[in-house]
A and B are shown apart, each in its own frame.
Chain A
């Protein structure tokens, strides 16, 4: 089991610039054997945490994307219906065919089943759990406490390893208290200027420290404007890559390019109309 400082180092080495608390959360996941629930606005990098965690543990990342109407057949397992039919056709008249077609060979693993049947514990990312409905949430809670799956035709399948579970939520729906209590909670906020600067430096090749700092400050200013869609970290990185690609070394030298490339940050027509040339100038004026 890794300690907190070791985890912080591993996160940094994997290219994920974490805030101070995240390493604590990850070490607690191991110590208390609890899943981690990440909440925060879209685009703050919640999914990245799971990817970084997989790198820290040097293990596989298994992702389950939730959506309205997600059910067990998409999340847990499904019988390979077409293969079963073909087998029945091929072995017509055979008595044992029924036992055969309901065997492991015809079972399709979905993410949740895959996550408990790996030799090395993977990271299981349950993305946007708030998009799934209450029933699925209840089923998930059961799985997260027992770590075994019952398949009527096969019996109970216990977990070979217990995965590191990360859930993310954008808060589109209120999650149950039971699920919240089961998990460790971490709120992922937009990064501050210092952290965002370091993220740009780590992720965008060719971005100088001074340019990264200017971009981070500019984005901070943009986030304070009244926007319909606040730009996330991914947008910042797109914008930084665009500026570097256009050979901008200092934002003050190319105000027009800065304004034109702001489309990387502003994702709705309304927001683009709101951030006029004057607004860009005003924000640039605040960037040292």
Chain B
């Protein structure tokens, strides 16, 4: 805030400083509630900006805060709406709604902030003690708080089939994609860690340097021909799994991308190879394409036959010794369970590990009684639930050991 007018009294300055601090703290809280991750340093920088004259120009302040507080694209997209709602009292676009404003007290806008500081004059810094989100002053000024992201913590535990609200579904999708990204990264890093170690090829180095009298002037590095870890996903897209299919598609779309070797198949009464559709960069578009493929004929699930098709036509091409096969299915086999057992055994001989994810496993009272799952289980290395984000998260350490 620019300095103008006569020098105000200490108490007045303090009043403005406290007022600005409180408003800023409330705004930071609003942002945190909306899922922004903001630390103390950002708060202090924000105060520095307000004190440096940015507060007098709302558009400039919005742009500055947007760069300072955003950390990813979803923040970037949300920010303008949140800023306008809080400081300029505009309606919020997007899915979040304003709640919790103290009735009868509207948000003191930027305008009133400028007026106050202009009355008081002074370009005081407010960096002294920004209240953290926990002890921000309450009640005195309305706070355009948003609901939405605070539910993210609970969302991790919610069974996917219980998600009915489109907002929650969207959040689950977003979280599944984020999780997949993080997982992919760490799995790739495992590959790298394995590649480190002794990289000098001494035999070739000595041979190469015979002309230098044996002094190793030019070095030959060892190039390991590593087979990258390959993930092959078989997703059950039958009616009994329909509650879970979309979140899994999103998760798989996130795990499979052009930087890792991966193949994806859908099955219900037959098997469909969907890796190409998964390579679609735009998740929404990929999901649309896959959803069409996932529309089963409604004739139950023939896991055994689908696996037979896989083993016969695809396995030789897509599976090598460092492959992990991930089957996502509830195991309700409407075909021949004995066939499923035989095909699982054949598949197990081929690949390194088979992970079977069964969303129903987490249901209360569920036991693997279905004939299909009983026949398959002896050949499965890891049998785990996958009905919520947390259960997906729990898989990562296991996959990383491959």
Contacts and interface: CB of A to CB of B under 8 A. Distances in A.
Given A28-B64, A133-B188, A133-B189, A185 B71 contact: yes
A173 B181 contact: yes
Given A85-B217, A133-B189, A172-B257, A24 B184 contact: no
A228 interface: yes
Given A181-B42, A228-B280, A82 B71 contact: no
A228 B67 CA distance: 30
A181 B73 contact: no
B32 to A, nearest CB: 13
Interface string A162-196: 00000000011110010011011111000000000
Contact of A32 (B45, B188, B216): B45
A20 B63 contact: yes
B93 interface: no
B215 interface: yes
Contacts of A187: 70, 73, 76-77
B189 A134 contact: yes
B188 A68 contact: yes
A180 B219 CA distance: 38
A34 B68 CA distance: 9
A104 interface: no
Interface string A29-69: 00110101001000000000000000000000000000011
Contacts of B63: 20-21, 24-25
B39 to A, nearest CB: 6
Contacts of B49: 28, 31-32
B259 interface: yes
Contacts of B182: 174
Contacts of B45: 32, 34
A134 B193 CA distance: 11
A24 B181 CA distance: 31
> Counting chain B CB atoms within 10 Å of each CB, which of A86, A184, A228 scores highest?
A184
Given A24-B67, A68-B192, A174 B60 contact: no
A89 interface: yes
Contacts of B218: 82
B48 interface: yes
A4 interface: yes
Contacts of A68: 188, 192
B68 A28 contact: yes
Interface string A187-210: 100000000000000000000000
A184 B181 contact: no
B178 A174 contact: yes
B68 A174 contact: no
Contact of A180 (B66, B71, B259): B71
A28 B66 CA distance: 11
A81 B66 contact: no
Contacts of B66: 21
A107 to B, nearest CB: 18
Contacts of A81: 219
Interface string B64-96: 101110111101110000000000000000000
Given A24-B64, A186-B67, A174 B185 contact: yes
B111 interface: no
A226 interface: yes
A68 B195 CA distance: 11
Contacts, number: 86
Contacts of A134: 185-186, 189
B191 to A, nearest CB: 9
A28 B67 contact: yes
Interface in A66-118: 68-69, 81-82, 85-86, 89
B67 A39 contact: no
Contacts of B73: 39, 171, 187
A177 B37 CA distance: 8
A102 B217 CA distance: 17
Contacts of A177: 37, 71
B72 A185 contact: yes
Contact of A85 (B70, B215, B279): B215
A185 B70 CA distance: 6
> Which residue, B67, B195, B215, B285, has most C-beta atoms of chain A within 10 A?
B67
Between A21, A135, A174, A183, the greatest number of chain B beta carbons within 10 A of the residue's beta carbon is seen for: A174
Contact of A228 (B75, B76, B185, B281): B281
B210 interface: no
A186 B70 CA distance: 8
28 contacts: A4-B60, A21-B66, A24-B63, A24-B64, A32-B45, A32-B68, A36-B67, A68-B188, A81-B219, A85-B217, A133-B185, A133-B188, A133-B189, A134-B185, A173-B181, A173-B184, A174-B182, A177-B37, A180-B37, A180-B71, A180-B72, A181-B41, A181-B42, A183-B71, A185-B70, A185-B71, A186-B67, A187-B77
Interface of A: 4, 20-21, 24-25, 28, 31-32, 34, 36, 39, 68-69, 81-82, 85-86, 89, 133-135, 171-174, 177, 180-181, 183-187, 226, 228
Given A32-B68, A133-B189, A180-B71, 17 more contacts: A21-B63, A21-B66, A21-B67, A24-B60, A31-B49, A36-B67, A39-B73, A69-B195, A85-B215, A134-B189, A173-B181, A174-B182, A177-B37, A180-B37, A181-B37, A181-B71, A185-B67
